[in-house]
Amino acid sequence: ILLVPEVCQLTGLSAQESTNTRAPLFRELASITHSSPTDKVATLHEFAQTINQSPITQRWGLNVETSLLQLTGGNIDNEEQIITNSNKFDIKKGSFDNMTRTRFVLSSAAIGDSCHIVCHSRDLPLALTMVEQTFARAAGIDIVFRRENIVTVENERAEAFIAAGSSINSKAILFILPNDKADRYHAIKKRFCVEQPKITQVVLAKTLKNKNGIASKITKILMQIDAKAGGQLWTIKIPMEKVMFVGIDTYHDTLSRGRSVGGFVASMNQNLTRYYSRVFWHDNPGEEVFSGLQPIMKDTLMEYRRLNNDNYPERIVIFRDGVGYGQMALVRELEIEAIKRAMSELQLHQETQLVFTVVTKRINTRFFAKHGTSYRNPFQGTVVSNAITKSDHAFDFYLVSQSVSQGTVSPTHYTVLEWKTNLRPEHLQKIAFRLCHMYFNWTGIISVPAPCQYAHKLAFLVGQSLHMEPAPALRHYLYYL
């Protein structure tokens, strides 16, 4: 495609505009992009009327329905609570951020003072702030930054930060970087995720320079380091034993055109706080379906057995993200069959229950709850499994897992391709909703089950920064958060 520069105009926001969220421009944009449910319904109605009144559509005999489709949905009761070390927190509010003000961590990774900070010499005051705040904001996390564990460098090149980090013998390293230069970040991650495996956390200097909410920022940094190192921050009760939840997602490798990387993450314990991850590759451009899942699945099942008293899981529940509707048949043919072959190799095919669900979050479907003469967003936990669902698969449903204060909430579509289980559909709906509470990088509910989001983060890190297999020593850690 060739474009004539003289007739082109730049669109979007500059870097300065996009970071100034308090500017009037942002408020004007929000009034359009985050319209309320009532305004959204009015806009859709007006749009349909405009189409119907067009001379062209009238000549064609085309008429668009102006009223919304009426349907009945269910709601998953939030009878369970987030379980922490110190308390149980209500999940009906959609956020459990207030628990970070207590000593909430179920089980810390016990890093202690084996944690160093690497920063530029001019950012030393920021590192000292981390040292000071850690003692007051530990939230039950066993991480202690000490003054003598700060290492400074004199230039901003990636080599300087990598050399400093490579010389440190500690369980975790926090890098405070002067700016968001991508090459430096990629180089650091590649060194410590592939060549010299170590838990690392990267934070920008400007994040710590802004003192607004500094205590909360430092708490979140400590939480992320602890989760990466094997800490168990919180859990939620799912009343099933000997079950393995799996998330699969894909990302295009930015270095090799036509190559995709797949992230595979599986739960290893009852509390859904321990995971095992693998990476696999795909070289067919334009396709998101992988045929090489058999050895990955076999290895994961054997690892589950090793960690669970020589027992394989009795149920395997897989959530597959990153697949278009047109590729469902290919997923059945290649991925599900590869998983079944892995189970057969271990003589599990007849006794182990298998559920395979495709998760689609980028959809245009929206739901509105009637509230008198106006509309509001449906409550979190709302499920729709009729009227607009399809019949060419085992079954499917829509789940609204989040609540939003602005705009209209987006549902997630779940399409079940394999249903070899004694569970009922409503059980899967509850499982999916509760797993949306288990993503350790966010003290709230996310739009997809946590294993899916972990798989996405893994595939993104490898496809964006590493471009090769991460070190096997990190497979039991959430290093990709």
* Sheet with 235-236, side-by-side order of all strands: 88-89, 82-83, 235-236
Give catalytic status of residue 321 as yes or no: yes
CA distance 430 to 481: 25
Catalytic residue among 226, 321, 335, 418, which? Answer: 321
Tell me the C-alpha distance between 57 and 182, whole Å. 50
Active site annotation includes 80: no
Measure the N-to-C terminal CA separation of the chain; round to a whole number of Å.
38
Tokens of 423: 């569970």
Over its C-alpha atoms, the chain yields an Rg (Å, rounded) of 24
**Residue 128, Cβ neighbours under 10 Å: how many?**
15
**Residue from 142, 226, 249, 418 carrying the catalytic annotation:** 249
Cβ partners under 8 Å of residue 116, min gap 6: 149, 150, 151, 165, 168, 170, 172, 173, 174
- The pair of structure tokens assigned to 140 is 């039950």
Alpha helices in 115-265 (DSSP H): 124-136, 158-166, 182-190, 205-209, 214-228
**Virtual CA dihedral for 202, 183, 166, 155, nearest 10 degrees?**
-90
**HSE (CB half, 13 Å, CA atoms) of 309?**
3
Q: Check 282, 413, 437, 456 and give the catalytic one.
A: 456
Cα torsion 129, 131, 132, 135: sign: positive
The angle, 0 to 180 degrees and rounded to 10, between the axes of the packed helices 214-228 and 124-136 is: 80
**Cβ proximity of 406 and 34 under 8 Å:** yes
The residues facing 177 across adjacent strands are 204
Other CB atoms closer than 10 Å to residue 2's CB: what's the count?
Answer: 3
User: Catalytic: 249?
Assistant: yes
Annotated catalytic, 252?
no
Angle, CA 252 vertex, CA 247 and CA 257 arms, to 5°: 155
Check 123, 226, 288, 418 and give the catalytic one: 288
Q: Report the catalytic residues.
A: 249, 288, 321, 456
